[in-house]
Amino acid sequence: MSDFFNNNMKKIIFIAVLLALKPLAARAETIDSMDDGISLWTSGISVDTGAVLTPSSVVGYSGNALKFDYTFNAGQWVEAGKDFGYRDFSGADQIRFYCKGSGASNNLQVQLTDADGSVFAKTITAASRITGWKEIALTFSGSSPDLAYSYGGDSTLDTTKISALSFGVSRSTGGAGTIAVDDVRLYVSNPANIIMNNFNDLDPINSFGGDSGIFTHDSSGTCTTVYVTTTVYEGLGAIELTYNVSKNSEWWCGYWTNLENKDVSAASHLSLKVKGGIGGEKFQIQLRGYAAKVRISDYMTVSDSWQVVNIPLTDFAGFVSTGAAGSLYDAQDQLCFVFENSLGYPTSGVVYIDDIRFVTPGAEDSLSGSVDNMDEAPATVGKWRTYGQVSGALTSIAGISGGNSDRCLEMAYNIIPDSPLSEQWAVMSRTMNPNAATGIMFRFKYKGAGSRDNIEFKVSDSDGNVYRKILYQAAETNDAWKTAEIPFDELTYFSGNRQLDLTRLRRIWIAVSKSPVSDGSGSLVIDELEYATPVASNYGGGSILEKLEVPYNPISPNGDGKKDTAWFTYKLKEAGAVELKVFTLKGENIYSYEKQDIADGDEHTIQWNAKNNDNTLVSNGLYIYTFNVKGSGGREDKVTHILGVVR
């Protein structure tokens, strides 16, 4: 096919879109409010030889805005770009999410990846089979963070440029199962809320980096520890202490965990959750010293239900909150639970402990922001990709509350024990790129003064495909605010190898280029960069076509049985030739369907399965469809619109 035909075909399609597309009610999703400063824009400045661009932050249409002062001299253009492929997590230090799982018992893993490919991970052994929703909190910065360096990059986590978040499983026992994740959020730890051990790791090492274990004396009793996942207060795990000091009054045993010289002076209380096997169990708590001890019975009666106990640190005689106070003995820098025969009945039993922390009552970690609430199906599904030994597509299912609007993502997997060890894993991962696939247009506020130059808007995806729109001689507005609206179908191909993937926007550029009537210099202010999402897009009828409805837009052809195909449901007023065509934004016809239909008063449906003429699934992105009906006497109705594909 000749370039001439291709170029003219594109023009025909885009003209048809402009003529046929009706204005739609829309809501806006912010990409950049410009209120947080312009540093990321100024780092992406590029100018033609001889041109000068001076950026600044000024009072905008609302809040702050980005201002260009430019002079072309011998140059032809200036531009600034911002990379949206990263998200700044530096305002928080922990990530929280809800999780549940079924099937085989395998290792649960959480990963953060930064701009240079440094991967920090936390693996929780044999924790993938989680009964019911559990909230998990993991720190990624500060002292002794839960997520530790794993591989890649420079081994330092740049929390200002997080590029990806992943949840996965790796082999423990192998086999099939599911893992579901909901409501991923960022939190800021309160310095007066210091977690020592929530036992989610099912591991002896506590959050201070200290080891733990049991102690007995020759013929003094027995104590065993088991990390359990079924009897927990919250999260994934708790510790079960089984003790027996029944023989005589001298018997004792217990559990210890090292505090690693941790400064806990910001807190006022030791807090823990306690549950007994039958109730009435008794033990002492020692804190940095044999003398610094209290009896649990002075604060609560242990029962067979979980209870929260907060013990003032001042009750531990001689306790030093700032560290181990230079003691020569490990016991002086430990937290210990001590079972003694002398404490009275029962002298044997089981005690469960969970969520040990040093706190000031009322001090709570604060919510910093949401990463993904998983609620916007199918758009949420389109943000995530699966890799490894996955069985089936990601599915959007009922979330924590069970309500129709509360969704989560579930990944099914099958870890094959006979496969190479390096392949025994499955992951669901999302980049931080904005997902605009449910939108219809980009939009921003602008005003300019000085010269009638061109404004160029360019956007790229994570694969490097670049599309653009030129607003000719639009930069001069007499310093009055205007709104630029750029429908996705008006973006034209600039560079790259494929369709623009609007589920993974990477970079946006705002440029000013010299027009034939340029005065050579001027200023341009940009604010409120966003994309608009349509509320409705049904066709109300014409001379032959009584109605056309496309209920699933965007579609999500991921095999989960929900919105896998596009439905074009129509009714005719009279018999006619019906033709459906689907095009890429480049103007390439990837699907065609024709039929002669009658006007029988019934609705008819054509389905498109998101496959091209080669019967392969198309890429994520936006496509143009034309629905054409030709009747007798040369009469014709034609509808042209946008259809999104998000997997």
Residue-wise pLDDT tens digits, 589-616: 999 999 988 888 888 889 999 999 888 8
Cα of 443 vs its chain's centroid, Å = 24
Q: Which residues contact 172 (CB under 8 A, 6 or more apart)?
A: 104, 105, 106, 107, 125, 126, 128
Q: For residues 591 and 473, what is the distance between their CA atoms, to the nearest angstrom?
A: 37
159 vs 597, which has greater pLDDT? 159
Note whether 527 and 446 are within 8 A (CB).
yes
Same domain, 263 and 355: yes
Peptide bond between residue 551 and the one before it cis (omega within 30 degrees of 0): no
4-38 burial, b at 16+ Cβ within 10 Å, e below that, comes to: eeeeebbeebbebbeeebeeeebeebebbebeeeb
Residue 18 is predicted with a pLDDT of 34
For the four alpha carbons of 297, 298, 303 and 306, in that order, the dihedral sign comes to negative
Note whether 462 and 433 are within 8 A (CB).
yes
- Give residue 637's domain range: 545-645
| pLDDT band of 351, cuts 50, 70, 90 | very high
As for how many domains the chain has, the answer is: 4
Is residue 392 in a domain? yes
Note whether 181 and 128 are within 8 A (CB).
no
Burial class (CB in 10 A: 0-12, 13-18, 19+), 549: middle
Same domain, 375 and 297: no
Same domain, 553 and 582: yes
Same domain, 299 and 412: no
Please give the angle made by the CA atoms of 470, 471 and 477, to the nearest 5 degrees. Answer: 150
**What value does the mean pLDDT of the chain take?**
86
The arithmetic mean of pLDDT across residues 187-215, rounded, is 89
AA identity, residue 402? G
| pLDDT band of 126, cuts 50, 70, 90 | confident
Q: Is the pLDDT of residue 557 over 90?
A: no
Q: Is the pLDDT of residue 23 over 60?
A: no
3-state secondary structure of 623: strand
DSSP-assigned letters across all residues of 330-346: GGGGEEEEEEEGGG-S-
Same domain, 314 and 336: yes
Q: Which of 359, 386, 414 is the C-terminal boundary of a domain?
A: 359
H/E stretch holding 9 reads: helix 3-20
Same domain, 249 and 146: no
Q: Which of 318, 341, 359 is the C-terminal boundary of a domain?
A: 359
Is residue 620 in a domain? yes
Task: Please tell me the least confidently modeled range out of 108-117, 302-311, 550-559.
Answer: 550-559
The model's pTM: 0.67
AA identity, residue 301? T
Q: For residues 636 and 638, what is the distance between their CA atoms, to the nearest angstrom?
A: 7
Find the CATH number of the domain harbouring 620: 2.60.40.2550
Residue 4 is predicted with a pLDDT of 32
Residue 231 is predicted with a pLDDT of 93
125 vs 471, which has greater pLDDT? 471
Is residue 344 in a domain? yes
Residue 218 is predicted with a pLDDT of 64
Residue 331 is predicted with a pLDDT of 54
Q: Which of 359, 380, 400 is the C-terminal boundary of a domain?
A: 359
AA identity, residue 285? I
Is residue 8 in a domain? no
Is residue 587 in a domain? yes
**In the numeric block, which tokens belong to residue 435?**
């997902």
Residue 541 is predicted with a pLDDT of 67
DSSP-assigned letters across all residues of 582-619: EE-TT--EEEEEEEEE---SS-EEEEE-SB-TTS-BPP
Task: Please tell me the least confidently modeled range out of 182-186, 293-297, 443-447, 641-645.
Answer: 641-645
Q: For residues 583 and 445, what is the distance between their CA atoms, to the nearest angstrom?
A: 30
Q: Residue 581: which of 627, 620, 520 has the closest Cα?
A: 627
438 vs 527, which has greater pLDDT? 527
Q: Which residues contact 381 (CB under 8 A, 6 or more apart)?
A: 394, 395, 396, 409, 556, 558, 646, 647
| pLDDT band of 16, cuts 50, 70, 90 | very low
Q: For residues 31 and 510, what is the distance between their CA atoms, to the nearest angstrom?
A: 14
Same domain, 552 and 607: yes
Is residue 17 in a domain? no
Same domain, 41 and 138: no
Q: For residues 368 and 250, what is the distance between their CA atoms, to the nearest angstrom?
A: 52
Residue 219 is predicted with a pLDDT of 65
Q: For residues 124 and 585, what is the distance between their CA atoms, to the nearest angstrom?
A: 45
Q: Residue 447: which of 519, 528, 385, 391 has the closest Cα?
A: 528
Residue 325 is predicted with a pLDDT of 59
Q: Which residues contact 267 (CB under 8 A, 6 or more apart)?
A: 192, 193, 194, 313, 321, 357, 358, 359, 360, 363
Task: Please tell me the least confidently modeled range out of 113-117, 469-473, 547-551.
Answer: 547-551
Find the CATH number of the domain harbouring 486: 2.60.120.430
Q: Is the pLDDT of residue 155 over 90?
A: yes
In the block, residue with structure tokens 């010289």: 261
Same domain, 372 and 411: yes
Q: How far apart are the first and last CA of the chain?
A: 31
Q: For residues 294 and 307, what is the distance between their CA atoms, to the nearest angstrom?
A: 17
Same domain, 513 and 562: no
Q: For residues 293 and 307, what is the distance between their CA atoms, to the nearest angstrom?
A: 20
3-state secondary structure of 6: helix
Same domain, 222 and 291: yes
3-state secondary structure of 456: strand
Is residue 113 in a domain? yes
Q: Residue 400: which of 133, 6, 175 has the closest Cα?
A: 133
Task: Please tell me the least confidently modeled range out of 241-250, 328-337, 422-431, 501-510.
Answer: 328-337
| pLDDT band of 328, cuts 50, 70, 90 | very low
Q: Is the pLDDT of residue 452 over 70?
A: yes
The arithmetic mean of pLDDT across residues 366-374, rounded, is 88
For the four alpha carbons of 493, 495, 499 and 504, in that order, the dihedral sign comes to negative
Q: Is the pLDDT of residue 234 over 90?
A: no
Q: Is the pLDDT of residue 426 over 70?
A: yes
Q: pLDDT above 90 covers what percent of the chain?
A: 49
In the block, residue with structure tokens 């001889």: 50
Q: Is 3 left (phi over 0), alpha (psi -120 to 50) or beta?
A: alpha
The model's pLDDT over 297-322, given as tens digits with 9 standing for 90+, comes to: 999 999 999 999 999 999 998 888 88
Same domain, 303 and 223: yes
Q: Residue 114: which of 149, 164, 150, 151 has the closest Cα?
A: 164
Is residue 222 in a domain? yes
Residue 542 is predicted with a pLDDT of 77
Note whether 335 and 285 are within 8 A (CB).
yes
Q: Residue 412: which of 440, 432, 433, 393 has the closest Cα?
A: 393
